Amino acid sequence: MTAGGDLEQPDPSDVASFRARREDVLGRIAAAAQRSGRDPAAVRLVAVSKTVPADRLRAAVAAGLTVLGENRVQEGEAKRPLVPGASWELIGPLQSNKARRALDTYDVIQSVDSLELAARLDRLADDFDPRAGGSRVRVPVLLQVNVDDDPAKAGFAPSDLEAALGAILELPRLRVDGLMTVGRLVDEPEDARTTFRRLRELSRRVRAADPRLGPELSMGMSADFEVAIEEGATIVRVGRALFGERAAPAGPTA
Ligand SMILES: *Cc1c(COP(=O)(O)O)cnc(C)c1O
């Protein structure tokens, strides 16, 4: 599928350093899960690789970081052919004119934030299936929720989510695995707890009414993923704790 054979092998010392960072983050995930009586295996790590060049990502994949998260359609599109062996998740805002390209590049779209976008993805998924030759039955998505009603953030307002959910769950080519949120920037990890708790409670309430919504909760980043796990995160999206500080200002814009 890719030109993997022509790609340079990753630098062994890069692989070793990613392995150490991965072990460290997985250890912190396990400790946070145990603290709250949860199974560490119930938390999935997405390595947020925005701004990280493809050659370093090949080292990260060799070190076991095989699920990568990108916040721009075109960045994942450019890097994916250069980084074999990973799966890719879109975690940033998706404009509907890029929906087809997003389906072509990403295995999971975490940032579905409107009924219109969901309906468009469903229609496009019905037309073609780029990688699996037609066998991908449903596209896994998460619905992004702006739990804090922060005007700077994308996502459904909680009441809009409840209004749109029935129609979204009817879409035959989407599999709605759960909810995702991007917390406010906080000084202390503890300050993010309320946001995470709200997402968990929203999920519980909505799933009690309609169990077709999946149980996943994607929440928590480098600064606060342990608090998110204590509040029930099943997916954490970790960038800087794995890859170091980003040179360009590419903070969470979603
Ligand atoms: C950048 C980003 C992350 C990761 O943030 P870090 O602070 O680097 O861990 C997580 N989620 C989203 C939506 C992002 O844009």
CA distances from 14 to 98, 109, 208, 238, 240 (A): 33, 29, 46, 18, 15
Q: Return the CATH number at 189.
A: 3.20.20.10
Predicted local confidence at residue 237, as pLDDT: 98
pLDDT at 194 over 80: yes
Least confident of 120-129, 143-152, 165-174: 120-129
Predicted local confidence at residue 136, as pLDDT: 57
Range 191-224 burial, b when 16+ CB lie within 10 A, else e: ebbebbbbbbebbeebbeeeeebbebbbbbbbbb
Q: Which residue intervals of 63-144 are DSSP H helices?
A: 73-79, 99-105, 115-127
pLDDT band at residue 124 under the 50/70/90 scheme: very high
Pocket lined around ligand 1, Cβ cut-off 6 Å: 48, 50, 71, 91-92, 182, 221-223, 237-240, 252, 254
CB-based burial label for 149 (10 Å; 0-12, 13-18, 19+): exposed
pLDDT band at residue 127 under the 50/70/90 scheme: low
Predicted local confidence at residue 226, as pLDDT: 97
Question: DSSP for 133-152?
Answer: TT---SEEEEEEB-TT--TT
pLDDT at 65 over 60: yes
Predicted local confidence at residue 7, as pLDDT: 85
In a domain, 73, yes or no: yes
pLDDT at 129 over 70: no
Predicted local confidence at residue 49, as pLDDT: 98
Contacts of 67 (CB under 8 A, 6+ apart): 44, 45, 46, 47, 86, 87, 89
> Residue 222 CA: which ligand 1 atom is closest?
9
Least confident of 5-9, 142-146, 232-236: 5-9
Name the token pair of 39: 């199974």
pTM, full prediction: 0.93
pLDDT band at residue 134 under the 50/70/90 scheme: low
Ligand 1 mean position, distance from CA 183 (Å): 10
Angle between helices 12-35 and 54-62 (to 10 degrees): 60
In a domain, 7, yes or no: no
Considering its fold, how many domains does the chain have in total? Answer: 1
Provide the domain limits for residue 105.
12-240
Using CA atoms, how far apart are residues 218 and 237, in angstroms rounded to an integer? 7
pLDDT band at residue 218 under the 50/70/90 scheme: very high
pLDDT at 4 over 80: no
Using CA atoms, how far apart are residues 178 and 45, in angstroms rounded to an integer? 16
In a domain, 65, yes or no: yes
Give φ, ψ of 140 to 5 degrees.
-75, 125
**Mean pLDDT score of the chain, rounded to an integer?**
92
In a domain, 112, yes or no: yes
Ligand 1 mean position, distance from CA 80 (Å): 19
Predicted local confidence at residue 1, as pLDDT: 46
Q: Which of 71, 145, 184, 219 to mutate to test the pocket of ligand 1 (most atoms within 8 A of CB)?
A: 71
pLDDT band at residue 5 under the 50/70/90 scheme: low
Predicted local confidence at residue 249, as pLDDT: 57
Residue 232 near residue 220 (C-beta atoms within 8 A) = no
